[in-house]
Amino acid sequence: MDGVTLAILKGRLEQIADEMDATLFRAAFNPTIAEAHDACHGLYHRTTGDTLVQGKSGLPIFVGTMAFATKADALLDDYGAPLVADALDELRARAATQMRAALAALPDGTWSQEDFLDNDGRTDQPLRIAVEPISSNHERAASSTAASCIPSCVSGAVVMLRRCRC
């Protein structure tokens, strides 16, 4: 796929997710959503539920938790489903390459970060999420702890750690 078409499709996909965020934030009566932007939107793979594109205004703790949602009819009408699917595959491959490069650039060492969710959605107890990435001789690993936490919460914590530390 040529770079221009890929860039156009990437921009359109990101705009769709951002407009979903903006619409909810404007329409929400709940101040947690309307003012704190405590929500997240995106486009997801129809069979696996993998996050393909996520709005920029939401909280990354929601990464991967809103599977099997939304449509982008105008985009599909303009470019066709096969081309959009190819663009999403290409964007995923490029994102993986960029993540590997960012991890390879980390100096040797260990970092740690922890945060708390209000609860896990089942019990009304704070939920601790701790992540400890380790870099040594170009080997990368990460340990995480989150009692009874769904994996997407840990993924969100890793995203936040990366934003804060890398």
Each residue of 74-96: pLDDT tens digit?
A: 888 899 989 988 998 998 889 88
pLDDT at residue 157 in the model? 54
Q: Which domain holds residue 131?
A: 107-165
Q: What is the mean pLDDT of residues 119-139?
A: 73
pLDDT at residue 8 in the model? 92
Q: What is the residue-averaged pLDDT of the chain?
A: 75
- Asked if 79 and 130 sit in the same domain, the reply is no
Last residue of a domain, one of 58, 79, 103: 103
- Asked if 97 and 130 sit in the same domain, the reply is no
Amino acid symbol at 32: T
- Asked if 64 and 122 sit in the same domain, the reply is no
What sign for the dihedral angle of Cα 82, 23, 150, 98? positive
- Asked if 12 and 91 sit in the same domain, the reply is yes
- Asked if 59 and 114 sit in the same domain, the reply is no
Residue with tokens 């990464």: 63
- Asked if 88 and 156 sit in the same domain, the reply is no
What's this model's pTM, rounded to 2 decimal places? 0.50
Last residue of a domain, one of 82, 103, 124: 103
Last residue of a domain, one of 103, 130, 151: 103
- Asked if 79 and 111 sit in the same domain, the reply is no
- With residue 131 as reference, give the H or E element that holds it: strand 127-136
Number of domains in the chain: 2
- In terms of Cα–Cα distance, which of 139, 163, 9, 29 is closest to 85? 9
- Asked if 92 and 30 sit in the same domain, the reply is yes
- Asked if 44 and 94 sit in the same domain, the reply is yes
Lowest mean pLDDT among 11-15, 54-58, 65-69, 84-88: 65-69
- Separation of alpha carbons 91 and 122, rounded Å: 35
Lowest mean pLDDT among 94-108, 117-131, 132-146: 132-146
Tally of CA atoms within 13 A in the half-sphere of 35 that contains its CB: 4
- Asked if 96 and 111 sit in the same domain, the reply is no
Confidence band, pLDDT 50/70/90 cuts, at residue 139: low
- Asked if 30 and 69 sit in the same domain, the reply is yes
- Asked if 78 and 15 sit in the same domain, the reply is yes
Q: Rounded to 5 degrees, what are φ and ψ at 2? A: -70, 150
